[in-house]
C-alpha cells in the first residue's frame, strides 16, 4: 500500500486521537440551577489511545481481517466498532489461522503467549500499555533477585494473568484484604508487592498496609504501579463527588477502572453513583430531585459516549456544563515498533510524538501541561 492509498483509505472518523484530549463541552445557563459537572481528566488514557490506534492503523495498512487477542480495551462500543471495520476478536492465539496477523491487547500478555504466537508463525503487534510493560519488568527483576511477589489485583483479569506469567513460580495474587492472611512465602524478609495498574489507589494502599503488618520488610515497587490516568481520574472524581447529587460513570462492566470510579464517587460523598455503557442506559428516576449531576468516564471510554450522556441530560434541563479540572494531561505513547516501521516504509509518519511523564517534587506528577497529586 502506498502513502496516498493509506490516506484515502481512512474512514471518516477514528476512535483514537481526539478522545485522549477532549475539547470543552458547550454550556448554556440554566434557569433553575440544574448543572452538569464534568470531570477532567476523563476517558482515554495514553495506553488505550495507542492500542486502539494500533488496531485502526493495522486495518488501514494491512486490510481486514486483523485478529486481536482478547478485547483490545475493555469497552463494548470500541470492540463493536472495530469489529465492524474488520477486526476479529479471539480469546486465544490458537484461534488465529497460522501465519496471520494478531494484535495483543493493551492489558499485556505472558511470555507463554508470545511463544505460542511464534510457534504458529503469527505476525504480532504488541499493543501492551507501556505502563503495564513496566510492571512486567519489575516482576522479572524481583524474580531474578529471588523475591516472592504479592500481586494485588483481580484474579482472572487479563492484565493480572499477563503479569503473573512473567514469573509464575514467584507471584501470588492478592485480590483484596480478605486474601492477606492466606499468603504464604518462603522468606518473610524477601517479599515485594506489585499491582494491577487500574485499581483504586485507596484500595491498593489498604491492602499494602495490611501486608506490611504481616511482612514488615515488604519491598515496594521502584515506581508507582497504579497508572497516572487511573490516579488522575480518581482524584478528579473525589473533587467532583461531594458537589454532586448523582455521579454517572461512563464505562463497561468489565472495565476495572470504570467500576472503581463509580465506587470512588460514592465513597467521596456523591448522593448516588451509577455506571452506564452509554446514554441509553440512563434511568430518569436516578435524577429525580437532583440539581447537580457529575459525569466522568473510565480510561477505555471514547469521548463520544460522554457527549451522548451530556446531551441526554441536557434534554432534561441540565444545560449548564462546568468542568472540574484537577490536572491537564499531555501524555502520548508511540505506536508498536514493527507497526511504526511498516508505516514509515510506505512514507507515513505517525503523528504520535512521545512525551515522557516524569515525577516532580513533593509527590507531584508532571505531564508537561499540569500537575496532579499521587495518593500514597
Query: Pairing between strand 191-195 and 364-366?
Result: unpaired
**Across the chain, which distance is largest between two alpha carbons, in Å?**
66
Distance CA 350, CA 319 (A): 38
Whether the CB-CB separation of 341 and 303 falls below 8 Å is answered with no
Q: Going by C-beta distance under 8 Å and a sequence separation of 6 or more, which residues neighbour residue 247?
A: 237, 240, 241, 262, 265, 266, 270, 272, 273, 274, 293, 294, 295, 296
Q: Going by C-beta distance under 8 Å and a sequence separation of 6 or more, which residues neighbour residue 48?
A: 20, 73, 106, 129, 299, 300
Catalytic residue among 159, 161, 203, 303: 159
Active-site residue, 159 included: yes
CA 240 to chain centre: 20
Buried b (16+ CB within 10 A) or exposed e, 340-370: bebbeeeebeeebeeeebeeeeeeebbbeeb
Q: For 70, phi and psi rounded to 5 degrees? A: 65, 180
Sheet hosting strand 320-325, strand order edge to edge? 273-276, 246-250, 292-297, 35-40, 320-325
Whether the CB-CB separation of 106 and 157 falls below 8 Å is answered with no
Whether the CB-CB separation of 365 and 374 falls below 8 Å is answered with yes
C-alpha cell at 68: 486481536
C-alpha cell at 298: 473510565
Buried b (16+ CB within 10 A) or exposed e, 146-179: ebbbbbbbbeebbbbbbbbbbbeebbebbbeeeb
User: Of 55, 49, 56, which Cα lies nearest the Cα of 14?
Assistant: 56
User: Of 169, 164, 238, 177, which Cα lies nearest the Cα of 207?
Assistant: 177
Handedness of CA 58, 59, 64, 65 (dihedral sign): positive
Active-site residue list = 159
Amino acid at each position: 500500500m502506498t502513502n496516498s492509498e493509506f490516506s484515502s483509505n481512512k474512514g471518516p472518523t477514528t476512535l483514537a486521537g481526539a478522545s485522549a484530549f477532549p475539547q470543552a463541552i458547550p454550556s448554556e445557563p440554566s434557569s433553575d440551577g440544574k448543572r452538569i459537572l464534568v470531570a477532567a481528566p476523563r476517558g482515554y488514557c495514553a495506553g488505550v489511545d495507542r492500542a486502539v490506534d494500533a488496531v485502526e492503523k493495522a486495518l488501514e495498512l494491512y486490510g481486514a481481517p486483523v485478529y486481536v487477542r482478547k478485547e483490545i480495551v475493555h469497552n463494548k462500543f470500541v470492540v463493536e466498532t472495530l469489529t465492524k471495520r474488520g477486526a476479529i476478536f479471539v480469546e486465544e492465539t490458537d484461534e488465529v489461522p497460522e501465519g496471520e496477523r494478531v494484535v495483543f491487547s493493551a492489558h499485556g500478555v505472558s511470555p507463554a503467549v508470545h511463544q505460542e504466537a511464534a510457534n504458529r508463525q503469527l505476525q504480532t503487534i504488541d499493543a501492551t500499555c507501556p505502563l503495564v510493560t513496566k510492571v512486567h519488568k519489575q516482576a522479572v527483576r524481583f524474580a531474578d533477585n529471588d523475591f516472592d511477589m504479592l500481586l494485588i489485583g483481580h484474579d482472572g483479569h487479563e492484565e493480572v494473568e499477563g503479569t503473573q506469567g512473567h514469573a509464575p513460580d514467584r507471584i501470588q495474587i492478592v485480590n483484596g484484604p480478605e486474601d492477606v492472611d492466606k499468603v504464604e512465602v518462603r522468606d518473610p524478609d524477601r517479599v515485594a508487592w506489585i499491582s494491577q495498574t487500574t485499581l483504586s489507589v485507596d484500595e491498593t494502599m489498604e491492602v499494602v498496609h495490611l501486608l506490611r503488618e504481616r511482612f514488615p520488610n515488604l519491598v515496594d515497587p521502584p515506581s508507582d504501579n497504579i497508572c497516572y490516568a487511573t490516579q488522575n481520574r480518581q482524584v478528579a472524581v473525589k473533587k467532583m463527588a461531594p458537589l454532586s447529587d448523582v455521579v454517572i460513570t461512563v464505562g463497561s462492566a468489565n472495565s476495572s477502572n470504570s467500576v472503581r470510579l463509580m465506587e470512588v464517587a460514592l465513597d467521596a460523598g456523591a448522593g448516588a453513583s451509577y455506571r452506564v455503557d452509554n446514554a441509553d442506559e440512563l434511568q430518569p428516576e436516578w435524577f429525580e430531585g437532583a440539581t447537580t449531576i457529575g459525569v466522568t468516564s473510565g480510561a477505555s471510554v471514547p469521548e463520544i459516549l460522554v457527549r451522548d450522556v451530556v446531551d441526554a441530560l441536557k434534554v432534561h434541563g441540565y444545560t449548564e456544563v462546568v468542568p472540574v479540572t484537577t490536572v491537564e494531561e499531555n501524555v502520548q505513547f508511540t505506536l508498536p515498533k514493527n507497526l511504526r516501521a511498516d508505516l514509515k516504509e510506505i512514507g507515513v509518519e505517525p503523528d504520535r510524538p512521545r512525551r515522557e511523564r516524569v515525577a516532580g517534587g513533593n509527590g507531584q506528577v508532571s505531564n508537561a501541561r499540569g500537575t496532579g497529586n499521587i495518593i500514597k
